[in-house]
Amino acid sequence: MTENEQIFWNRVLELAQDHLTQATFEFFVLDAQLIKVENNIAFIYIDRMKELFWEKNLQQVIITAGFEIFNSQINAQYVFESAEINNVTANNSTQQINSFAQQNPTSKEPLPTVQSNLNPKYQFDNFIQGDENKWAKAASIAVANSPGTTYNPLFIWGGPGLGKTHLLNAIGNTVLENNPNARVRYITTENFINEFVTHIRLESMEELKENFRNLDVLLIDDIQSLAKKTLEGTQEEFFNTFNALHANNKQIVLTSDRTPDHLNNLEERLVTRFKWGLTVDITPPDYETRIAILTNKILEQGYPYTFSQDTIEYLAGQFDSNVRDLEGALKDINLVATFKQANVITVDLAAEAIRARKQDAPVINIISIEEIQTQVGKFYGVTTKEIKSTKRNQDIVLARQVAMYLAREMTDNSLPKIGKEFGGRDHSTVLHAYNKIKNIIAQDDSLRIEIETIKNKIK
């Protein structure tokens, strides 16, 4: 790289950093490389999936830096394969035009307006960023700022209470802020199914199709609820909706409590489509993030009392797997503090207020093996009977082993007793299952999070 190229590139990075949030910058820009600038074209090596983001958001940055350093208009040419780096020349590459930005629905009649169902409370501004959610947030911001053109679909997955619904709503709110005419709709999968059933009953499927296929942005929450066994036709309808929207570059964002690959209840063709875009996860917040979330929520609520710093630290230490619990704790405290007319929330007061919530935590032995089998079965879409059977299908074996693992971990029952509850198996089978799952979750985050999710349901 020549000295001028280096100066140009540094300036691009600097301007991009000013222009983007830190997480977005890190995600989209940090690993890009300038190959060279030749005949007023900057050859930039990026990941293919980031191209549209660059075109949408960084073209101006490149032009600005170009005028500053080279005194002429520099346009970008993106290169995706490292093999191409050595043989790009200004001749064999033409400037790429962003076709999406120009694509304009200069359409016929105005479409009916849409009820977005968004919760205005959920914004990017009040979504606290930590290591565990920064990619999910960055990708959500990218999608919100250029729907249909960056990642489609965006698939966000993670355990309960970690902010999936919050992000989904923040995307919709931002899209509408940028373009109040955008046709945005948030819907839970459960409500999607309900609507489907209603329209079948009223024989008005055409209307349902119209409602969904005219959207610009479809935000669909908790897609794991779309199970094969509940209603066959819903998957078909969802599949068609998905295809219609995707084919027209309409944005789809999905959330789930597990990865697409673990959606055992969904047809393979749906799972395949979910992986067309970008999949990002959210894991439980670390201690620092929990402190930041609490501090922010307290500010947001504008309570008529203050929290001592050690109270905040205490609370952050009490709930470690779920942001919803942190919010619940603040509600508990508010009740007690209002009653006592407290001015300052001390650790003692907080401890008293959250006692009941802490007692909701698992009490060993109250949890039955049966309950574990039921919840694990529900999660994996298999019956308790199948768990206890000798069937060897992959889904059933996994459910069986996870249930055995949890039976050992969450109850006081002996190995032979557990074996007996699983269709009269030997204690060594239980031990084998326990060790196997334990080893897997030491390395595999997705199974670990699935098990956390199931545990939360059992508690």
- To the nearest whole angstrom, how small is the minimum distance from the Cβ of residue 165 to Mg ion? 3
d(CA 336, CA 341): 8
DSSP-assigned letter for residue 96: P
Work out which of 164, 246, 262, 455 binds ligand ADP, going by CB under 6 A. 164
Closest CB to ligand ADP among residues 175, 323:
323
Q: Per CB under 6 A, which of residues 239..298 are in contact with ligand ADP? A: 293
165 is in an annotated binding site: yes
Residue 327 in the binding site for ligand ADP (CB under 6 A): yes
Of 50-58, 123-131, 226-234, 372-380, the segment contacting ligand ADP by CB under 6 A is 123-131
By a kind-dependent CB cut-off of 5 to 8 A, residue 328 interacts, out of ligand ADP, Mg ion, none, with: none
Of 66-74, 265-273, 321-329, 413-421, the segment contacting ligand ADP by CB under 6 A is 321-329
Assess contact for 375 and 383: CB atoms under 8 A: no
Give the x/- contact pattern for ligand ADP in 67-106, rule: CB under 6 A.
----------------------------------------
Distance of CA 351 to the CA centre of its chain: 32
Work out which of 66, 147, 161, 419 binds ligand ADP, going by CB under 6 A. 161
Query: Cα-flanking dihedrals φ and ψ of residue 181, to 5°?
Result: -90, -5
Three-state DSSP at 179 gives: coil
> What does each C-alpha distance from 405 to 48, 378, 400 come to in angstroms?
41, 16, 9
By a kind-dependent CB cut-off of 5 to 8 A, residue 334 interacts, out of ligand ADP, Mg ion, none, with: none
Assess contact for 285 and 325: CB atoms under 8 A: no
163 is in an annotated binding site: yes
H or E element at residue 363: none
Of 15-23, 50-58, 158-166, 402-410, the segment contacting ligand ADP by CB under 6 A is 158-166
Residue 315 in the binding site for ligand ADP (CB under 6 A): no
Work out which of 24, 145, 150, 165 binds Mg ion, going by CB under 5 A. 165
DSSP-assigned letter for residue 223: G
Residue 279 in the binding site for Mg ion (CB under 5 A): no
By a kind-dependent CB cut-off of 5 to 8 A, residue 163 interacts, out of ligand ADP, Mg ion, none, with: ligand ADP
Structure tokens at 35: 């190959």
- To the nearest whole angstrom, how small is the minimum distance from the Cβ of residue 146 to ligand ADP? 23
d(CA 46, CA 74): 17
Cα angle 438, 439, 441 (rounded to 5 degrees) comes to 70
Assess contact for 451 and 405: CB atoms under 8 A: yes
Cα angle 335, 338, 339 (rounded to 5 degrees) comes to 85
Structure tokens at 214: 């005219």
> Closest CB to ligand ADP belongs to which residue?
163
Q: Measuring CA to CA, which residue among 32, 59, 56 is closest to residue 142? A: 56
The binding site for ATP consists of 161, 163-165
Q: Give residues in contact with ligand ADP (CB under 6 A).
A: 122, 126-128, 133, 160-166, 293, 323-324, 327
Return residues touching Mg ion (CB under 5 A). 164-165
